[in-house]
Structure 1
Amino acid sequence: MSTIKDVAALAGVSFTTVSHVLNDTRPVSADARRRVLAAVEEIGYLPSAVARSLRKSETKIIGVLVPNVNNPFFAELVVGVEEGCRLSGYSVFLCNSDNDPKRQQQYMRTLLEKRIDGLLLSSAGDAEALARIFKLATVPAVTVDRAVPGARADRVSVNNQDGAYKAVRHLLDLGHRQIACISGPAEFEVSMERVEGWRRALQERGLPVDGSLLIESDFSSAGGYEAARRLLRDRAEISAVFASNDMMALGVLRAAAEFGLRLPQQLSVVGFDDIELSAYVYPALSTVGCSIKELGREAARVLIDRIENPGAPLKDVQLTPRLVQRESTAAPGSR
Structure 2
Amino acid sequence: MSTIKDVATRAGVSFTTVSHVLNNSRPVSAEARRRVLEAVDEIGYLPSAVARSLRTSETKIVGVLVPNVQNPFFAELVCGVEESCRLAGYSVFLCNSDNDPKRQQQYMRTLLEKRVDGLLLSSAGDDEALARIFKMARVPAVTVDRLVPGARADRVSVNNSQGAHNAVSHLLELGHQRIACISGPAEFEVSRERLQGWRSALQARGLPVDENLVIAGDFSSQGGYAAACRLLQAQRELPAAAKISAIFASNDLMAIGALRAAAEFGLAVPQQLSVIGFDDIELGSYVFPALTSVGCSIKALGQQAGQMLIERIDQPEAELRELLMTPSLVLRESTSAPSLGLGSSFKA
Deviations 1:190-238, CA, capped at 9 Å, x for gaps:
0111111111111111111111111122111111111111221223510
For the 8 Å contact 2:168–2:248, the answer to whether it is kept is: yes
Q: What is the rounded CA distance, in whole Å, between the counterparts of 1:333 and 1:34 in structure 2?
A: 76
Query: Which ranges in structure 2 are unaligned for 5 or more consecutive residues?
Result: 237-242, 342-348
Q: Which amino acid aligns with 2:185?
A: P
Q: What is the rounded CA distance, in whole Å, between the counterparts of 2:144 and 2:200 in structure 1?
A: 24
Cα drift, residue 118 of structure 1: 0.6
Cα drift, residue 256 of structure 1: 0.3
Q: What is the rounded CA distance, in whole Å, between the counterparts of 2:19 and 2:224 in structure 1?
A: 58
User: Does 1:270 find its partner at 2:256?
Assistant: no
Higher alpha-carbon deviation: 39-48 or 26-35: 26-35
Q: What is the rounded CA distance, in whole Å, between the counterparts of 1:262 and 1:134 in structure 2?
A: 49
Counting aligned pairs with the same residue, the percent is 77
Q: What is the rounded CA distance, in whole Å, between the counterparts of 1:104 and 1:126 in structure 2?
A: 9
Q: Which amino acid aligns with 1:274?
A: D
Cα drift, residue 124 of structure 1: 2.2
Cα drift, residue 10 of structure 1: 1.4
Match of 1:247 in 2: 253
After TM superposition, the structure 1 = structure 2 runs for residues 1-335 of structure 1, keeping only pairs within 5 Å, are 1-235=1-235, 237-335=243-341
Q: What is the rounded CA distance, in whole Å, between the counterparts of 1:129 and 1:260 in structure 2?
A: 47
Q: Which amino acid aligns with 1:224?
A: G
Q: Secondary structure at the match of 1:207?
A: coil
Query: Which ranges in structure 1 are unaligned for 5 or more consecutive residues?
Result: none
For the 8 Å contact 2:68–2:99, the answer to whether it is kept is: yes
TM-score (norm 1): 0.97
Cα drift, residue 70 of structure 1: 1.1
Q: What is the rounded CA distance, in whole Å, between the counterparts of 2:113 and 2:69 in structure 1?
A: 23
Q: Secondary structure at the match of 1:62?
A: strand
Cα drift, residue 300 of structure 1: 0.7
Q: Which amino acid aligns with 1:69?
A: V
Deviations 1:35-89, CA, capped at 9 Å, x for gaps:
1111111111111101100000000000111111111111111111111111100
Cα drift, residue 131 of structure 1: 2.7
Q: What is the rounded CA distance, in whole Å, between the counterparts of 1:290 and 1:272 in structure 2?
A: 10
Q: What is the rounded CA distance, in whole Å, between the counterparts of 1:258 and 1:133 in structure 2?
A: 46
For the 8 Å contact 1:101–1:129, the answer to whether it is kept is: no
Q: What is the rounded CA distance, in whole Å, between the counterparts of 2:13 and 2:195 in structure 1?
A: 68
Provide runs of 4+ in structure 1 moved above 3 Å: none
Q: What is the rounded CA distance, in whole Å, between the counterparts of 2:321 and 2:135 in structure 1?
A: 20
Cα drift, residue 132 of structure 1: 4.0
For the 8 Å contact 2:101–2:124, the answer to whether it is kept is: no
Q: What is the rounded CA distance, in whole Å, between the counterparts of 1:126 and 1:181 in structure 2?
A: 26
Q: Secondary structure at the match of 2:94?
A: strand
Higher alpha-carbon deviation: 43-52 or 123-132: 123-132
Q: Which amino acid aligns with 1:199?
A: R
Q: What is the rounded CA distance, in whole Å, between the counterparts of 1:288 and 1:137 in structure 2?
A: 36
Higher alpha-carbon deviation: 226-235 or 35-44: 226-235
Cα drift, residue 129 of structure 1: 4.1
Cα drift, residue 135 of structure 1: 4.0
TM-score (norm 2): 0.94
Q: What is the rounded CA distance, in whole Å, between the counterparts of 1:250 and 1:134 in structure 2?
A: 36
Cα drift, residue 128 of structure 1: 3.0
Q: Secondary structure at the match of 1:164?
A: helix
Q: Secondary structure at the match of 1:307?
A: helix
State the aligned residue count.
335
For the 8 Å contact 1:109–1:136, the answer to whether it is kept is: no
Q: What is the rounded CA distance, in whole Å, between the counterparts of 1:132 and 1:333 in structure 2?
A: 54
Q: What is the rounded CA distance, in whole Å, between the counterparts of 2:137 and 2:326 in structure 1?
A: 29
Deviations 1:157-181, CA, capped at 9 Å, x for gaps:
1110111011111111111111111
Question: CA RMSD of the aligned region, Å?
Answer: 1.2
Q: What is the rounded CA distance, in whole Å, between the counterparts of 1:133 and 1:222 in structure 2?
A: 33
Cα drift, residue 29 of structure 1: 1.4
Q: Secondary structure at the match of 1:109?
A: helix
Higher alpha-carbon deviation: 246-255 or 75-84: 75-84
For the 8 Å contact 1:108–1:137, the answer to whether it is kept is: no
